[in-house]
């Protein structure tokens, strides 16, 4: 790991690390999306053969009931017990009071309000390239189900035999996902955004993926909603002389298991910095600061996906944290507990986007409808103001619409 000072060009690069759009990826994704939009299932078959190296028929794109039943023969029985623990933790965390419909009734005959409804159809993308991300299934599906989403569809790449990982299938089945499709990459995102004869058109797509998946989500946004534009995983650890070096080292090393994962230690302890530099070989950074106030400032500017606080009184630091996807405090709260079982979803903003994105939650699957109800007397009262503004904007038909109520 490289040691970086509080000031310098390297630190500025870390602050501005938001992944740039690669021209080749952008153009490839544009071509795939256009092809799927025009040619539907036929395009999906071609891209599955090209990228996943498996030839499927249109009927084979959707996982069958017999395939799902067969998956249970290929999973560890103890896994279901562990999964139930995770489901209980996530469900209890998100089953807090949801947004409720509200109405304001005024004495002048005006009723204003907000009506909340769940999104109807959601598509979940689950990567399965370098490793099957089984945990991403329940971390994405459960908040949607708790919100009341009626239809949830899952897309995940098949292996070279045209099969979906049995653990992914089992979790999807236990969570009663409506259907699973053997689709990966930009073509999966396009299929869910536009719909085909086989794949339903969804209202929102969630879940992490590679550069092509992320670029596809960017390009279909507007045709449907998306959760966020996720990049490589990252962890920042704020630690001082009171931190256990073995914990810090282990958590920084764990980050190297993620493809292009970024690990950063922010510390005012030169002793800790030197220990970590010798024992952690990944391409991360150690940022030396004068004190914990500087550490907080650097962390807020990095706006990391995961932030661990390993100091004597972590809650004092926590009060000053403004930008982070998820915060883990104390020596017994490693990122791994959040990845798998704690409760809050591990689908989190990366690349500094924690400045404006939040971790996936129930509210991501709920939309509001504004309610406006005026009596004739109430409309009469505000008519002059409406007439004035509409006249300034040159909206003649708007004026006629208003005046028709009093003719």
Which sequence positions are flagged as catalytic? Answer: 305-306
The answer to whether residues 177 and 147 touch, using CB atoms and an 8 Å cutoff, is no
Q: Supply 163's token pair.
A: 């099969």
For residues 213-248, one letter each, b for 16 or more C-beta atoms within 10 angstroms of the residue's C-beta and e for the rest, the string is bbbbbebbeebbbbbbbbbbbbbbbbbbeebebebb
């Amino acid at each position: 790991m490289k040691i970086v000072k509080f000031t310098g060009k390297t630190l500025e690069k870390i602050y501005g690390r938001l992944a740039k759009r690669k021209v080749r990826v952008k153009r490839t994704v544009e071509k795939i999306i256009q092809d799927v939009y025009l040619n539907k299932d036929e395009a999906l078959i071609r891209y599955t053969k090209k990228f996943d190296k498996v030839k499927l028929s249109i009927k084979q794109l959707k996982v069958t009931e017999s395939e799902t039943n067969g998956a249970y023969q290929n999973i560890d029985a103890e896994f279901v017990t562990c999964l139930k623990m995770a489901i209980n933790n996530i469900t209890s965390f998100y089953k807090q009071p949801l947004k409720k419909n509200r109405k304001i009734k005024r004495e002048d005959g005006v009723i204003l309000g907000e009506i909340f409804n769940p999104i109807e159809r959601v598509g979940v993308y689950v990567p399965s390239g370098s490793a099957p991300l089984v945990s991403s299934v329940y971390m994405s599906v459960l908040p949607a189900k708790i919100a009341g989403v009626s239809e949830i569809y899952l897309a995940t790449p098949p292996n070279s035999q045209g099969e979906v990982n049995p653990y992914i299938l089992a979790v999807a089945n236990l969570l009663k996902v409506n259907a699973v499709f053997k689709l990966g990459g930009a073509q999966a995102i396009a299929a869910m955004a536009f719909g085909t004869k086989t794949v339903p058109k969804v209202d929102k797509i969630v879940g992490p993926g590679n550069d092509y998946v992320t670029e596809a989500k960017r390009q279909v946004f507007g045709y449907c909603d998306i959760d966020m534009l996720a990049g490589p995983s990252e962890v920042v650890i704020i630690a001082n002389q009171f931190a256990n070096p073995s914990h810090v080292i282990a958590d920084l090393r764990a980050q190297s298991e993620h493809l292009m994962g970024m690990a950063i230690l922010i510390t005012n302890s030169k002793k800790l910095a030197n220990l970590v530099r010798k024992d952690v070989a990944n391409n991360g950074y150690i940022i030396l600061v004068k004190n914990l106030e500087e550490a907080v400032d650097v962390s807020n500017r990095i706006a990391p996906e995961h932030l661990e606080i390993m100091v004597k009184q972590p809650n004092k630091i926590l009060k000053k944290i403004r930008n982070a996807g998820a915060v883990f405090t104390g020596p017994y709260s490693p990122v791994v507990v959040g990845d798998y079982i704690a409760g809050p979803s591990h689908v989190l903003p990366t690349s500094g986007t924690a400045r404006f994105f939040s971790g996936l939650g129930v509210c991501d699957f709920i939309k509001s409808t504004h309610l406006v109800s005026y009596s004739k007397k109430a409309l009469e009262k505000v008519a002059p103001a409406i007439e004035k503004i509409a006249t300034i904007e040159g909206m003649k038909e708007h004026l006629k619409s208003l005046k028709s109520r009093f003719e």
